Structure 1
Amino acid sequence: MSTPAPASVKPSAPSKVELLELLSAVGGAVCQDFASAAAPHGLTHMQVKVLTHVHRDPASMREIAEALACDASNITGIVDRLEAGGHVRREVSPTDRRVKNVVATDAGRAVLRTIRGTMQAHGAVDTLDPDERTLLYGLLERLRPQIERGGAAHTAT
């Protein structure tokens, strides 16, 4: 049986590897939760990721492909299926008539709200008090830009 450390002893900070493993585990669980919540609506995880990307603002196929780190040809098929289901539509870009933007429809935004509402991850988030949610949100928002663009130059842990 181990003895707890005295209150004056500060625990060591987790390593970068430990933090990344934890982020990966949480991210993977949220992705699985997302996929499970989307399946009853006939949507795949990737279709919901595209819908999530365009639910507030239109985006070009190229922007979606870059944001989701996918080949543009894969995005075309995903958008085709979303469009066939009435979840998105394509519109000519107001700034470049050669570009088609993907726009979420009201039906697409409604199904996304429903999917998010049935996700089990909400229960985990509910265990955090408002101050903890604010802290976590701020930290994740700080990390997000670097993670989305592939991170900064690699440094030692």
Structure 2
Amino acid sequence: MSSPTPPTTTATVPTKAHLIEEFAAIGAAYYQDFAAVAARHGLTSVQAKALAVLVRKPLPMRGLAEQLVCDASNVTGLVDRLELRGLVRREVSATDRRIKTVVATETGRAAISAVRDDMQTTHEALDLLSPDERVVLHELLTRLRPVLEQR
């Protein structure tokens, strides 16, 4: 009795350009879902993005501007509006009293969590993956993230 031959793969390896195109399309679709849901929660897309950044770690105003890819002068008004709603607070830096660090409050953490929980289009896309595929995707994204986040 002969052993079965292993199946051959006919799939071609995607080029980097094809992978970048998929990243771009998925990123754009994710951001549209994120912005639409944020609006239903009374947040602009930039306010929601700021909260998403700040729940990972508190940042000085300048650092938040860099993460949002905007001018530091725009961040003052943004943080003012988030602070009025109790979603963030400013703290004086322990190392330099001139620097204000922006911190997400528990209310802010709950708000961004609610936005992510309500992102049905994104959830439906992820539901297409099996648990094993989700593990693999998570491992791949975790490997890529530090390189893509380098400045």
Identify the residue that residue 102 of structure 2 maps to in structure 1: 102
Q: Does 1:138 align with 2:139?
A: yes
RMSD between aligned residues: 1.6
Once superposed, which parts of structure 1, at least 4 consecutive aligned residues long, lie more than 3 Å away? none
Identify the residue that residue 153 of structure 1 maps to in structure 2: none
Per-residue CA shift, 1:101-127, capped at 9, x if unaligned? 111112111111111110021121122
Are residues 9 and 133 of structure 1, via their aligned partners in 2, closer, same or farther at CA, if it must alter by over 3 Å? closer
1:140 Cα deviation from its structure 2 partner: 1.4
TM score, norm. by length of structure 2: 0.87
Per-residue CA shift, 1:19-71, capped at 9, x if unaligned? 11111110111101011111022211111111011124311112112223222
Q: How does 1:76-155 map to 2 (within 5 A)?
A: 76-120=76-120, 121-149=122-150
How far apart are the structure 2 equivalents of 1:13 and 1:70?
Answer: 37
Could you list the runs of 5+ residues in structure 2 that have no partner in the other structure? 1-6
Per-residue CA shift, 1:73-123, capped at 9, x if unaligned? 222221121112221110111222211111111211111111111002112
Aligned partner of residue 117 in structure 2, secondary structure: helix
Q: How does 1:17-32 map to 2 (within 5 A)?
A: 17-32=17-32
How far apart are the structure 2 equivalents of 1:71 and 1:122?
Answer: 33
How far apart are the structure 1 equivalents of 2:129 and 2:21?
Answer: 21
Aligned partner of residue 35 in structure 1, secondary structure: helix
Aligned partner of residue 12 in structure 1, secondary structure: coil
How far apart are the structure 2 equivalents of 1:133 and 1:19?
Answer: 18
How far apart are the structure 2 equivalents of 1:66 and 1:137?
Answer: 26
1:146 Cα deviation from its structure 2 partner: 2.5
How far apart are the structure 1 equivalents of 2:100 and 2:9?
Answer: 58
Aligned partner of residue 24 in structure 2, secondary structure: helix
Identify the residue that residue 38 of structure 1 maps to in structure 2: 38
How far apart are the structure 2 equivalents of 1:56 and 1:17?
Answer: 30
Aligned partner of residue 129 in structure 2, secondary structure: coil
TM score, norm. by length of structure 1: 0.84
Percent sequence identity over aligned pairs: 53
Q: How does 1:6-17 map to 2 (within 5 A)?
A: 7-17=7-17
How far apart are the structure 2 equivalents of 1:96 and 1:123?
Answer: 46
Could you list the runs of 5+ residues in structure 1 that have no partner in the other structure? 1-6, 151-157
Q: Does 1:52 align with 2:48?
A: no
